[in-house]
Amino acid sequence: MSSADWTPASPDDSDNALKSLLRRSVIYERAGAVVPHDLLQVGLFGSIVVIIAGLFALILPSATSISHSGFYWILGSTIAHVASFMRVVAAPALIVGGSLLVFDAYLMLGRTSAPWRFMVVVQAAIGGIGGVICMIFLALVILNLAIWIVIVVLALMVIGVMLAAMGDS
Reported in sequence order, the residue ranges of the chain that DSSP labels E, i.e. its strands, are 33-34, 111-112
Is 59:137 a contact under the CB 8 Å cutoff?
no
Distance CA 157, CA 169 (A): 19
Distance CA 17, CA 3 (A): 20
For residues 61-77, average pLDDT: 83
pLDDT band of residue 168 (cuts 50, 70, 90) is confident
Is 86:56 a contact under the CB 8 Å cutoff?
yes
pTM of structure: 0.66
pLDDT band of residue 151 (cuts 50, 70, 90) is very high
DSSP label of 33? E
pLDDT band of residue 33 (cuts 50, 70, 90) is low
